[in-house]
Amino acid sequence: MDLQEAISGLKLPLNVRNDLFAELNSLQLSENEITEILQATQDEYARSKVEPCEAVGTIAAQSIGEPGTQMTMRTFHYAGVADINVTLGLPRLIEIVDARKVPDTPMMTIYLEAESANDRDKALQFGWEIEATRVSDIADILTDTDEMQIYVEFDDRVMQQRGVDLDAVVTKLQALQDVDVRVDGSNVVLSPSVKRYRALLQIVEKVRTMVIKGIEDIKRVVVRKEGKEYVLYTEGSSLKKVIPLAHIDATRTRTNNINEMHEVLGIEAARNSIIEEAMSTLREQGLTVDVRHIMLVADMMTVDGEVKQIGRHGIAGEKTSVLSRAAFEVTVNHLLDAAVRGETDELAGVTENVIVGQHILLGTGDVKLIAKTSKA
């Protein structure tokens, strides 16, 4: 009997079939034993299946909401390194289901291509490439209020480390309006044409924050060794600009901004990203929640092809039932709008039927069985 064939013919989920194959392939078992094992596996699988009419939505909501009470509120440092601050715990979970456009602490995890992944120098080098280098990072900026001039004193060592070319900086500085740029060795003297104190300070600020290299949204890069390879963690996120770069492993590189994942990689990626982010938030708090619950939330948020919030401006607000919407938030407006539009409530959901005092169409309430009484 061909084991592979016997297993792949079974009506079991892929991971169970893989488990079976992995487990049985290494053992020398008789055909009888194998048949028995396969049968037992199928039996157990059948026993564990969800029952029809199960209110899986409510169970998922409770399974995520209940541990919410046990979570912390604080923003912690990134596990291990005291380097990148990441929102964790309840605020992060709320952020995920809110589908915020930008998370509180955007962050990216960048993996490198196989050939450079184990090379610390290359990883660091790459980090410098993408980290936003501002003038203030590579130079001291002095303001001379007497002469109404700004002296930018570049630090050669840092410039070399970051791979910044003085000429490139000067070109960028020259693009500034109303400023005369004069190069003096490794220093640059800027003299604004308008000799006013406020204008001068404004220019100083402009120069200080000017990005000369890297990706503007990536504020900082931290390189960490994970297993054998080096991984880059960034404060700030810009997936769109990072993905096309050479030397990175675009298949694993990710951001914690779900909307960005959606924009760049599509809705499926957003769904997986919701699941991954929610799971890791819960895991970090030491709470075990079955993935299936989170999958359901993620699927609900993404079924329509866009990331929708759980709440008034998303799923709850787009429900077809007037009564259900009215019972959630902004009661009166929903009723008035429904009246003008002549909406009809089909009473298909839970809240609506509770409101009118009928059985809900879930679980045992969804089964329409009548016992046949034998007329004796």
Partner 1 sequence: MSSPKRIGKIKFGLLSPKEYRKMSVTKVITADTYDDDGFPIEMGLMDPRLGVIDPGLRCKTCGQRAGECPGHFGHIELAAPVVHVGFAKLIRKTLRATCRRCGHLLLDEMQQHEFLLKMHELKDKNYSTEETVKNVIKEARKTTTCPYCAEQQKEIKYEKPTRYVEDSHKLMPADIRDRFERIPDSDTELLGLDASNVRPEWMILTVLPVPPVTTRPSITLENGQRSEDDLTHKLVDIIRINQRFQENREAGAPQLIIEDLWELLQYHVTTFLDNEVSGVPPARHRSGRPLKTLSQRLKGKDGRFRGSLSGKRVNFSARTVISPDPNLSVNEVGVPETIAHEMTVPIIVTPRNIDDLQEYIKRGPLNHPGANYVKRPDGKRVKVTDKNGDEIAETVENGWIVERQLKDGDIVLFNRQPSLHRMSIMAHRVKVMPFKTFRLNPAVCPPYNADFDGDEMNLHVPQTEEARAEARILMQVEENILSPRFGGPIIGGIHDHISGLFLLTQKGTKFTKSEVYELLRKCTVEKPLPTPAIVEEDVAYYSGKQVFSQVLPEQLNLTLKAKKCVMHAVCLKTDCEIDAYVKIEAGNLICGIIDEKSIGAFSGAILDGIIREYHDTGFTEASRFLDNATKLAIRSIMAFGFSFGIDDEDVSQQAQLEIEEIMEKAEERVSALINAYEFGELESMPGRTLNETLEMKIMQELGRARDKAGEIAGKNLGFAGELALDNSAVVMAVSGARGSMLNLTQMAGSVGQQSVRGERIKRGYYDRTLPHFRKGDLGADARGFVRSSYKKGLTPTEFFFHAIGGREGLVDTAVRTSQSGYLQRRLINALQDLEVEYDGTVRSGEKVVQFVYGEDGIDPTKSNYGKSVNVQKIVQDVIEKHGSG
Side chain identity at residue 278, one-letter code:
A
The answer to whether 48 contacts partner 1 (rule: CB under 8 A) is yes
Nearest to 93 by CA among 68, 111, 70: 68
CA distance 80 to 83: 9
Shortest Cβ 174–partner 1 spacing (Å): 31
- The answer to whether residues 311 and 107 touch, using CB atoms and an 8 Å cutoff, is no
Binding pattern to partner 1, positions 305-344, x when CB under 8 A? -----xx--xxx-xxx-xxx-xxx--xxx-xx-xxxxxxx
Shortest Cβ distance from residue 263 to partner 1 (Å)? 21
Which residues, in sequence order, are CB contacts of 376 under 8 Å at separation 6+?
none
Binding span for partner 1 by CB under 8 A among 45-53, 167-175, 195-203, 245-253: 45-53
293-312 binders of partner 1 (CB under 8 A): 293, 295-297, 299-300, 303, 310-311
| Listed ranges 100-108, 156-164, 203-211, 282-290: which one lies at the site for partner 1 (CB under 8 A) | 282-290
**Residue burial 309-330, b: 16+ Cβ < 10 Å; e: rest:** ebeeebbbeeeebbbbbbeeee
Q: Which of 25, 53, 171, 201 binds partner 1 (CB under 8 A)?
A: 53
Q: Is residue 132 part of the contact set for partner 1 (CB under 8 A)?
A: no
By the 8 A CB rule, do 108 and 132 touch?
Answer: no
Q: Show contacts with partner 1 in window 237-276 (CB under 8 A).
A: none
Contact between 288 and partner 1 by CB under 8 A: the answer reads yes
> Of the ranges 13-21, 113-121, 146-154, 201-209, which one interacts with partner 1 (CB under 8 A)?
13-21
Judged by CB, which is closer to partner 1: 33, or 113? 33
Torsion sign over Cα 289, 292, 293, 298: positive
Of 117-125, 166-174, 251-259, 350-358, the window that binds partner 1 (rule: CB under 8 A) is: 350-358
Encoded one letter per residue, x for contact with partner 1 by CB under 8 A and - for no contact, window 186-225 reads ----------------------------------x-x---
Told to check if 168 binds partner 1 by CB under 8 A, we report no
| Tokens coding 320 | 């077809």
Looking at residue 112, what DSSP letter applies?
B
Between 129 and 352, CB nearer to partner 1: 352
User: What CA–CA distance (Å, rounded) separates 294 from 56?
Assistant: 11
Neighbours of 45 (CB within 10 A): 14
**Residue 52 sits in the site that holds partner 1 (CB under 8 A):** yes
Tokens of 347: 């009473």
> Would you state the structure tokens that stand for residue 7, as one six-digit string?
């297993």
Output the six-digit token pair for 253. Answer: 């590189």
Does residue number 79 form part of the binding site for partner 1 (CB under 8 A)? Answer: no
Residues contacting partner 1: total by CB under 8 A: 109
> In the complex with partner 1, which residue's Cβ is closer, 25 or 160?
25
336-347 core/surface letters (b: 16 or more CB in 10 A; e: else):
eebeeeeeebeb
